[in-house]
């Protein structure tokens, strides 16, 4: 695996750069923010992630290893490829992505071109527990305490983006938490969303079915 590149910047384009490594030019795709930090003729360093396909090898470059880590985690979401993951990083800083994923803020991801409500809901669902803000890393889930008036609208929004009506989503949340008062008190959006989907007997692949269809 190529972890990083360091060499003379030979070219900077709109979506990629070329790093000269002792006479070998390596093309690297990157966000506009990362590319803006490179200057032709100067030494540049990029942390990299190599994407291997049957017909191609593509390098993606990042200004920090934190950006690369978030990029790699975004790729674990079904339907999110490297171009879309890079687009997320072009709109949001890594920490903002961690906060959005941890809090269940699907609307933050819809700000990225190419991501609609359904994909945003899937990102929030599949990244639950995988991305945690640095300020809460290693802390128990109970540390994410918020009033129902704060977490409930976020969970409802995530469920409506997955296909449920607001009425059905609200009813399902209430029923799923009836026997889990501690979970409701903790107010962790991602955990409550997962608990509600488990109560419905659903998973991410079938999340588009509405509650009413289950009778």
pLDDT digits (tens, 9 = 90+) for 159-206: 887 788 888 888 888 888 887 777 777 777 778 888 888 888 754 434
What pLDDT was estimated at residue 211?
Answer: 41
pLDDT digits (tens, 9 = 90+) for 105-126: 888 999 999 999 888 888 988 8
Token representation of residue 192: 């409550």
pLDDT digits (tens, 9 = 90+) for 123-140: 988 887 788 787 654 444
Q: Which residues contact 25 (CB under 8 A, 6 or more apart)?
A: 10, 11, 18, 19
- Residue 119 to residues 99, 134, 181, 201, Cα–Cα distance (Å): 17, 25, 30, 21
């Amino acid at each position: 695996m190529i972890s990083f590149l360091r060499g003379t910047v030979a070219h900077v384009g709109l979506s990629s750069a070329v790093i000269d490594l002792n006479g070998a030019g390596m093309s690297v795709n990157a966000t506009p923010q990362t590319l803006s930090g490179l200057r032709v003729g100067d030494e540049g360093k990029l942390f990299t992630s190599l994407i291997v396909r049957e017909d191609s090898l593509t390098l993606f470059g990042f200004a920090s290893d934190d950006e690369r880590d978030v990029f790699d985690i975004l790729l674990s979401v079904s339907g999110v490829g490297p171009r879309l993951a890079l687009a997320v990083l072009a709109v949001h800083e890594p920490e903002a992505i961690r906060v959005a994923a941890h809090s269940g803020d699907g609307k933050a991801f819809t700000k990225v071109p190419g991501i609609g409500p359904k994909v945003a809901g899937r990102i929030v669902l599949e990244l639950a527990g995988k991305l945690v803000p640095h300020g809460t890393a290693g802390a128990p889930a109970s540390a994410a305490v918020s009033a129902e008036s704060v977490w409930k609208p976020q969970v409802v929004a995530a469920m409506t983006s997955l296909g449920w009506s607001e009425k059905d989503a609200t009813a399902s949340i209430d029923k799923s938490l009836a026997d889990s008062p501690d979970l409701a008190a903790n107010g962790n959006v991602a955990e409550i969303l997962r608990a509600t989907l488990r109560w419905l007997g659903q998973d991410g692949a079938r999340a588009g079915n509405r509650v009413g269809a289950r009778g």
